[in-house]
Chains A and B, each alone.
Chain A
Amino acid sequence: MDELLKILHSLHPEVDFTAREALVDDRVLKSFDIVSIVSEIYEVFGVAVPAEEIVPENFNSAKALYALIQRLEDE
């Protein structure tokens, strides 16, 4: 989780990613950010997030995103 928070923090240092629950709905994360996050997740975790998983519910919070990474690692 710390590594993921580091990735998110590097994009938006001003945002408290442990507290936010609607990162996409509130437009904190935009499409360019999402692509950067997916690229860094691939680099750090070795997990490729497919396009069908890019939906608000997977990117609205750091917790949801971490759960997605774990699920993709398991599959």
Chain B
Amino acid sequence: MLFTSYAFVGFLALTLTAYYLVPGRWQWPLLLAASYGFYWAASPWYLLFILVTTASAYGVSLKLADLSGEQRAYLAAHKDLTREEKRAYRAGIKKRKWAWLLACLFLNIGILSVSKYTNFVIRSFNALTGRGLGPVDMIVPMGISFYTFQTVGYVIDVYRDRQPVQRDFFKLALFVSFFPQLVQGPISRYGQLSQTLFTPHKFAEKAFSFGLMRILWGYFKKVVLADRLLPAVTALTGDGTYAGAYVLAAMLLYAFELYCDFTGGIDIAIGVGEAMGIRMPENFDLPYFSKNITEYWKRWHITMGTWFTDYIFYPVSVCRPMLRLSKWSREHLGQAVGKRVTVYLASFIVWLTTGIWHGAAWNFVVWGLANWAVIMVSQELAPLYERFHRRFALRGKAPYEAFQVVRTVLLVSAIRMFDCYRDVPLTFAMLKSLFTRFDPRVFTDGSLLGLGLDGADWLVLTLGLAVVLAVSLYKLKRGGIREALYEKPPAVFYGAMGALLVCTVVFGAYGAGYDVTRFIYDRF
């Protein structure tokens, strides 16, 4: 059941109506039933996968909390122990907790890896050895990466004693399967989402209408803009036909398509939550206004970035072998090299994992490592930039900041081309053609009209993207536009909502020649 299907719209209307009709204490059980219904509609088999994840997280988190409780009780009852005895006792408990955590991680990351990467391994094996092993028919449950990461994060938080355990199986089941975020995130933390997920909510006109407005805004970006851009991006990146300046067109069009597609889906998810009084974390903070790639990755897919930082980057960076490596490097290679070793290595692992997480193909591995390389180079050049900024005093000047923003958009868009072309060599060849076969006339001689989009489509796209830009600039300068509209007479707010609905229905890219497509991030 895609967010963009009529079935989902009907399902959502029924769920929202029922949510406010049932007594408050029945709201979260209703959401659990709705979430399982949503998942069952995709495939009954998927339920088996999500149940295994939920049950293992439930059992292991209980065990971890019990072991922590046992430790607290023992140490409280044995205050006379020496420091060494206490240390030995804690180490014993930690070892047992670690074994449970490891079992849970192996099971869940194992399921994720086998279902998503078996055929990638077979393809790579065939390519390396010249063998012809056939692909395996695997079930890849919808949103498995998202719910696995979210659930594993919860278990690690319990292991770290940072999160009280949830002893109600059904509440944990709802956290794992909450339908708006099941397919493409955001990746919530238990401590944050649970604050509003299980509490009763009375109907509140403002929260409900804000939620609906955000849902409509998400649909507008998805079906009017992203799906309209899709044929052009597909045509441009289908093979090596469109080189040179066309690659620049592909970079920019895909940048907008992906932005509208992914932020549209997240707006729908967060908007559904808002309409029910449930707060989910934001996943974007105007990423295309970033002045460098590091900042961009703090503002794009935020919940994935913070997840990787907290659960992979830090544990890898500060584990004892890494600390010993850092010490050794400082002693033998000097302070300058030594202090970089752990950061570079841990970042490499994070970006390699990020690449693999995005897709079971070498394109994504190279995409991840290209991001890593650019970030590391930027890190190394930081002192040089600093000297440059002190010398020329450009910082804060609008034209220079605009240059930084454009440069960052072009850079991330160029790296993202690995996501579009069929393989790595073709991507490199096409990026090279930007410099060797660039003919700017394609932007003015009507060539772009032959990409599956006619003049009317380009007009809708131009106006639609202007609206998205205007809303973004408003947010950047003055804050949320919904709040501003809500402060005006009701006719303005509801008029804007109606206009958004009409534009989405009238200009949505469906009907002849179009199919409402899956969200790009569904496949991750």
**A54 B327 Cβ-Cβ under 8 A:** no
Stretch at the interface among B11-19, B268-276, B316-324: B316-324
Size bracket of the B interface: 20 to 34
Kindly identify which residue among A43, A48, A55 contacts B320, using a CB–CB cutoff of 8 Å. Answer: A48
B342 interfacial by beta-carbon distance below 8 Å: yes
Of the candidates B86, B90, B160, B323, which one forms a contact with A48 in the assembled complex, judged by CB atoms under 8 Å apart? B323
Contact A42 B326 (CB under 8 A): yes
- B346 near A35 with CB under 8 A, answer yes
The residue in A34, A39, A42, A49 that gathers the most chain B C-beta atoms within 10 A of its C-beta is A39
Expressed in whole angstroms, the Cα–Cα distance for A39 and B337 within the complex equals 13
In whole Å, how far is A40's beta carbon from the nearest beta carbon of chain B?
A: 8
Neighbouring B residues of A52 by C-beta, 8 Å: 159-162
At the interface with chain A, which of B195-203, B307-315, B442-450, B454-462? B307-315
Whether A38 touches B317, Cβ cut-off 8 Å, given contacts A43-B330, A48-B323, is: yes
Within 8 A of B (CB), among A15-42: 31-32, 34-36, 38-40, 42
Shortest distance from the beta carbon of B91 to any chain A beta carbon, whole Å: 10
Interface residues of A in 38-75 (CB under 8 A from B): 38-40, 42-43, 48-52, 54-55, 74-75
* A32-B320 in contact (CB<8A): no
The CB with the most chain B CB atoms within 10 A, among A35, A36, A52, A75, is that of A35
B313 touches A31 (CB 8 A): yes
Chain A contact residue count (CB 8 A cutoff):
19
Query: In the complex, which of the residues B317, B327, B346 has the most CB atoms of chain A within 10 Å of its own CB atom?
Result: B317
Residues in B with CB closer than 8 Å to A49 are: 318
Interface residue from B83, B86, B314, B330 paired with A35 (Cβ < 8 Å): B314
Q: How far is the CA of A34 from the CA of B379 in the complex (A)?
A: 15
Whether A55 contacts B162 in the complex (CB less than 8 A), given A35-B317, A39-B323, A42-B326, comes out as: yes
Which B residues are in CB contact (< 8 Å) with A35?
313-314, 317-318, 342-343, 346
> A36 vs B326: C-alpha distance in the bound complex, in angstroms?
9
Interface of A is mostly: helix
Residues from 337 to 384 in B contacting A, C-beta threshold 8 Å: 339, 342-343, 346, 379
B87 interface residue per 8 A CB criterion: yes
| A36-B339 contact, Cβ under 8 Å, with A31-B309, A42-B323, A52-B161 | yes
Q: Which residue of A lies closest to B329 (CB)?
A: A39
Q: Is the CB of B379 within 8 A of A32?
A: yes
Residues of A within 8 A of B309 (CB): 31
Chain B residues near A34 (CB-CB < 8 A) = 314
Query: Which of A32, A50, A55 is the one whose CB lies under 8 Å from B318?
Result: A50
**Min CB distance, B136 to chain A, in Å?**
35
Complex Cα–Cα for A75 and B94 (A): 13
Q: Which residue of A lies closest to B344 (CB)?
A: A32
Please name the residue on chain B nearest to A32 by beta carbon.
Answer: B343
Instruction: Enumerate chain A residues within 8 angstroms of B342, measured Cβ to Cβ.
Output: 35-36, 39
Contact of A51 (CB < 8 Å), options: B315, B326, B327, B343: B315
How far, in angstroms, from A42 to B317 measured CA to CA in the complex? 12
* Interface core residue of A40, A52, A74, A75 (most chain B CB under 10 Å): A52
Closest residue on chain B to residue A54 by CB atoms: B314
In the complex, chain A residues whose CB is within 8 Å of the CB of B314: 31, 34-35, 51, 54
Give chain B nearest CB distance to A2 CB in angstroms. Answer: 19
A31-B343 Cα distance, complex, nearest whole Å = 9
Residues of A within 8 A of B343 (CB): 32, 35-36
Residue from A32, A55, A74 with most neighbouring chain B CB atoms (10 Å): A32
A residues less than 8 Å from B379 (CB atoms): 32
Taking a contact as CB atoms under 8 Å apart, the answer to whether A39 and B339 are in contact is: yes
Within 8 A of A (CB), among B139-190: 159-162
The chain B residue sitting closest to A55, CB to CB, is: B162
CA separation between A54 and B11, bound complex, in Å? 42
Least CB distance, A13 to chain B, in whole angstroms: 12
How many whole Å from A8's CB to the nearest CB in chain B? 14
> Inside 8 A of A38's CB, which chain B residues have their CB?
317-318, 323
In the complex formed, the residue of B with least CB distance to A50 is B318
Question: A32-B379, A52-B161, A52-B162 given as contacts; is B90 within 8 A of A39 (CB)?
Answer: no
Contact of B90 (CB < 8 Å), options: A32, A42, A43, A75: A75
B317 with A74: CB separation less than 8 A: no
Within the assembled complex, what's the spacing in Å between the Cα atoms of A34 and B304?
Answer: 19
Known: A32-B343, A48-B318, A75-B87. A39 touches B313 (CB 8 A): no
Given the complex, which residues of B lie within 8 Å of A75, measured CB to CB?
Answer: 86-87, 90
Inter-chain contacts of B86 with A (CB < 8 A): 75
What are 29 A-to-B residue pairs whose CB atoms are below 8 Å?
A31-B309, A31-B313, A32-B343, A34-B314, A35-B317, A35-B318, A35-B342, A35-B346, A36-B339, A38-B318, A39-B339, A39-B342, A40-B339, A42-B323, A42-B327, A43-B330, A48-B323, A50-B318, A51-B160, A51-B310, A51-B318, A51-B319, A52-B162, A54-B310, A54-B314, A54-B318, A55-B162, A74-B83, A75-B86
Q: With contacts A40-B339, A51-B160, A54-B318 known, what are 12 further pairs, Cβ within 8 A? A: A32-B343, A36-B343, A38-B318, A39-B326, A39-B327, A39-B342, A48-B323, A49-B318, A50-B318, A54-B310, A54-B314, A74-B83
Task: Enumerate the 4 nearest inter-chain pairs by beta-carbon distance, A residue then B residue, closest first.
Answer: A52-B160, A51-B315, A39-B326, A35-B317
B residues neighboring A (CB under 8 Å): 83, 86-87, 90, 159-162, 309-310, 313-315, 317-320, 323, 326-327, 330, 339, 342-343, 346, 379
